[in-house]
Amino acid sequence: MTNKAVLEGGPADLTERVVDAPPSGEDVKIRHRGGYEHFRATQRRQDGPQGPLEVFQWWERTEIAE
């Protein structure tokens, strides 16, 4: 079974809010609207259908170079 994480913050139109959890210590990076949204792990957990999910908070956006 894959561990899941929940994403908080970032763009309101980001529809993917429960994602595969990265290896410990890594950030989540989601491709979105010509760039990447970056989320960092917090110490918080949130209940989900799969059980407690690690919460990742949005912290920056980077553009994709063309």
Separation between Cα atoms, residue 36 and residue 7, nearest integer Å: 14
Read off the pTM. Answer: 0.88
Tens of pLDDT, residue by residue over 4-51, are 999 999 999 998 899 999 998 899 999 999 999 999 999 999 998 778
Alpha-carbon separation of residue 51 from 1, 4, 39 (angstroms): 12, 9, 20
The full DSSP string for 38-55 is: EEEEEEEEEEETTEEEEE
pLDDT of residue 6: 96
